[in-house]
C-alpha cells in the first residue's frame, strides 16, 4: 500500500457467482443466473474523533426469470414460453448496477477546551450519518397481467427506445410508452420485446443521528439520542406501472419506504 494513503484502507475485489437449477419431480422448467461485480471499500478507522466507511459495488445480475414462488401480479415475471426460457434471459429484477453507501462518526470538538458547565453542556456530542444511493431496478412490460390461461407474461413488440431522457421523465410518463405496440399480435402470440427493459427510479436516502453523553458516575452514563431517518424527506418512488392493459400504463402512483421520521430516546449505560 502506498504510504501517502495514511490511515485509509482501500479494498477492491471482484466477484462472480453462477447458479443453475434443474428440473425435479414436481417442476419441469429450469433456470439459471449469473452475477459479476466489482466491490470497493474505503475504511478510515476511528482516530482523532472521527471515522469513515464507504463502499461501492458495480454489479450485473442476469437470469432467465425469478424462482417460481416469486411469480405473481406484483412482479409480473411470468415467462412468455415456459418451454423456451432463453427468451427470458435479461437483467434480474434485483439487478442493481451501482450501489454506494457512506457512513461516518464524528465526535464534535466544540468543548474540548472548556471546563465546568460549558463542558457539561457543549461537550460529549457525537454526529452519525449513513448515506445510501443505488440505481434503478428493472421492471417488466407486459400486455395484460390479467390474461386468462397462463398468458399473463406475454410482452408486446418493441418499436422504439423505451427510455426517456432524464429531463423528460415525469410521474405521469416515466418511460416512452410509445416504444411498445400490440399491433399484429394475437391473444397468444409472443412479442419481441425483451424482459425487464424499463428501470424504476433510483434511491437516495440519508439518516442522521446526534448523541449527547452525560457521565452520571464512574460506571454509569446516560445518552440522549436524536435520530432522523430520511432526514431530507426525499420521496422514494415505486416502479412505474408496466401493464399495457391498464389506463395508468407508464405512470408512477406510489412510493416505497417512509417520509422523514424523527425519534428521541434516552439510553442508560452501566
Residue 8 C-alpha cell reads as: 485509509
Per-residue pLDDT, averaged over 215-238, amounts to: 91
More confident residue, 122 or 243: 243
Q: Indicate whether 87 pLDDT > 50.
A: yes
C-alpha cell at 191: 412479442
Three-class secondary structure of residue 168 per DSSP: helix
Structural domain range at position 185: 3-269
Contact 177/186 with Cβ under 8 angstroms?
no
- The whole-angstrom separation of Cα 200 and Cα 97 is 12
User: How far is residue 36's CA from residue 66's CA, in Å, rounded to a whole number?
Assistant: 17
Q: How far apart are CA 227 and CA 260, in angstroms?
A: 10
**What is the model's pLDDT at position 77?**
86
* 23 has a pLDDT exceeding 60: no
Average pLDDT for 123-144:
93
Dump pLDDT digits (tens) for 25-70.
455 557 889 999 999 999 999 888 899 999 999 999 999 988 776 6
Q: According to the model, what pLDDT value does residue 204 have?
A: 96
Read off φ and ψ for residue 112, nearest 5 degrees: -65, -30
The CA distance from 102 to 131, in Å, is: 5
Rounded to whole angstroms, the Cα distance separating 110 from 122 reads 7
Count the neighbouring beta carbons within 10 Å of the beta carbon of residue 211: 19
User: What is the domain count for the chain?
Assistant: 1
Mean pLDDT in residue range 117-138: 85
Amino acid at each position: 500500500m502506498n504510504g501517502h494513503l495514511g490511515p485509509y484502507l482501500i479494498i477492491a475485489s471482484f466477484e462472480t457467482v453462477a447458479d443453475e437449477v434443474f428440473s425435479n419431480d414436481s417442476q419441469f422448467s429450469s433456470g439459471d443466473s449469473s452475477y459479476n461485480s466489482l466491490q470497493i471499500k474505503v475504511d478510515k478507522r476511528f482516530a482523532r474523533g472521527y471515522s469513515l466507511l464507504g463502499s461501492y459495488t458495480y454489479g450485473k445480475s442476469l437470469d432467465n426469470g425469478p424462482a417460481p414462488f416469486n411469480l405473481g401480479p406484483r412482479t409480473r415475471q411470468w415467462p412468455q414460453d415456459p418451454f423456451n426460457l432463453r427468451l427470458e434471459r435479461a437483467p434480474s429484477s434485483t439487478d442493481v448496477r451501482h450501489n454506494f453507501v457512506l457512513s461516518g462518526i464524528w465526535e464534535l470538538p466544540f468543548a474540548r477546551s472548556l471546563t465546568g458547565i460549558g463542558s457539561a453542556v457543549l461537550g460529549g456530542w457525537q454526529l452519525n450519518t449513513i448515506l445510501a444511493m443505488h440505481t434503478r431496478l428493472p421492471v417488466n412490460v407486459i400486455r395484460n397481467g390479467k390474461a386468462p390461461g397462463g398468458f399473463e407474461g406475454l410482452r408486446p413488440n418493441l418499436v422504439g427506445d423505451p427510455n426517456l431522457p432524464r429531463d423528460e421523465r415525469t410521474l405521469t410518463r416515466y418511460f416512452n410508452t410509445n416504444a411498445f405496440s400490440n399491433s399484429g399480435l394475437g391473444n397468444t402470440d409472443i412479442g419481441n420485446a425483451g424482459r425487464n427493459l424499463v428501470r424504476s427510479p433510483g434511491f437516495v436516502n440519508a439518516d442522521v443521528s446526534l448523541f449527547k453523553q452525560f457521565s452520571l458516575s464512574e460506571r454509569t452514563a446516560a445518552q440522549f439520542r436524536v435520530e432522523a431517518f430520511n432526514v431530507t424527506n426525499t420521496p422514494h418512488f415505486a416502479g412505474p406501472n408496466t401493464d399495457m392493459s391498464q389506463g395508468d400504463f407508464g405512470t408512477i402512483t406510489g412510493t416505497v419506504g417512509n417520509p422523514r421520521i424523527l425519534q428521541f430516546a434516552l439510553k442508560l449505560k452501566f
